[in-house]
Structure 1
C-alpha cells in the first residue's frame, strides 16, 4: 500500500460500528476454499515486493497504478519484470504469466500526496504474455460502484499473509466521494490492487480496487478507485498498442515520514508496497 493517511473525507458513517458487522478474514488455503477466487493472484514486482491483482480477461490483470513504480526511485517498473501468479497458495500457483505491457491512468501521479485525485486515478491494466485458459480460473466481470451502506467483500494478499490469499466476505461501503470508495474492508501492505467485490446474485463482480489504507477517527478504513470510465480508457490504450516500457522522468519532491502537508496538515508515512 502506498501510504497511510488520516482520512480527510466526511463520509457520514461510523467506521467502528460498520467493522463490528464485518466478517473476519478467512485464509483460502485449500483448493475447495479458493475455488471461486483462483482469478485473484499475487503480482510479483521483480523480486522487490508484491501487490494483488485480478484477471478481468484471459490476458488482462487489474491492479493499482502505484504497484508499477519503484518505491525507492519513484521510476516506472519495466512491465516485463512482473509476473502474475494466479491463485498463488503456499508456493504454487494455478497459472504463471509474465506481463508484457502495462498502462496506468494518465491522471495518476506517483509523486503526488494522497488525495481523492490520486486515489481515483490509482488504476492500472496489465497485458499478459499469454492468455490464461484454465477451466478453474475464470476472469471476473466488473460492475458499477455500489451504494453507500452496501455489503462488499475483498480477496487479497498482504504482509504476514503473502503465501495464501484471504477472503473477507462482508465489509461495508462507508461512503462514495469524488470517485473514491471508502470501505471498512481489512487491508494491509501488499493488498494494493486487491479486488473489491459485490456478491449480488451469487456471482462476484469487481466494483473497485484497493488503493490505500486510511484512518477515520481511530478506525482503519480502505480507499478504493472507481472503475467505469477509467477502466474503459485503459482498455482502449492497450488496444492501441500502448504500455511498453519507457523510463519515467525523475519524480517531484515528495513528503517523507514525519513531514507534513502545508495544505491538509496530514502526516504521511511511506511503507513498502
Structure 2
C-alpha cells in the first residue's frame, strides 16, 4: 500500500527530507515502487522515508540523487537529518565538533565516539536506546566523516586503560575495536595515548572531557552528565583544563608504547585464550 501522509517540511530535517523526496519523485513521474526498483530497495521503504517514519542512510540518499538527478540534494540533506537524530542536548556539541580544527579528548571508560567501530557503538548505544538503535548508531557513525575530510581536525586522544579492559559487546567486538585503534596508528593528524593504571591519581579523575580549538573562535571545554552536555568558553576553565590535559599527556604512555599495550590487551584479553585474571598492564 502506498504511504500517504502530509508532512510539515519545517517540522524537522527528517520531515523536510521526506517531503522533498516525495516532491521530486512525483515530479519524475515515478511511484514509490518504481523508485524503489531503480535504487534497489522496497517501495515501502521509500514510503516510510517520505512519511518521516524511517531515517534515510547515506547510501539511500546517494542512490536517490542519482535516480532523480537532484545534483546531490539528498546527499547534502542526510547529514543534517542524521545529526538531528542525536540527543537534543548533544547536537550543539556535534556541530562544534564538526567545525573544530583541534580536538583533545580524555576518555575514562569508553573509546571516543569518533574512533568507535559500528558494532562497538551498537553495543554501547543499545543499553539505553534499543528502540532507536539503527538510527542512533547511524548518527554516531556519521560523526566520524570529519576524519575523512581533505583537511581533518587534529585529534589527540588520551584513553584510560580501563576503556581497554571494559568488555563491550563481547570478546570479538572488543578485539576488532582494539584492532581498529591499532589501524589508526601513523595517521598524520591523529594520536592515541593510553593512561595506564599504574599512573595512579591523575588530572582526569573527575571524568571524561574534551577541549575543542578553532581557527577563528574561542576554545571550548565540553563535559557531560547522564542527560546533558555542558560547553563553556570560560577562559579560566579553558586554562585549567588545558593544563590538566597536558598533565594527562605527560602521565600517559607514548603513542608507540600505547599501541604496544593495546596490542597486548587485544591478544591476551580478547584473543582465543584470554587471560582469566584481567587486563594486561605495561
Q: Judge same fold: TM > 0.5, yes or no.
A: no
Query: Normalising by the residue count of structure 2, what TM-score does the alignment of the two structures yield?
Result: 0.30
**Higher relative contact order structure (alpha carbons within 8 Å, sequence separation ≥ 6):** 1
Query: Normalising by the residue count of structure 1, what TM-score does the alignment of the two structures yield?
Result: 0.30
Larger radius of gyration: 2
Q: Larger helix proportion, structure 1 or 2?
A: 2
Q: Larger strand proportion, structure 1 or 2?
A: 1
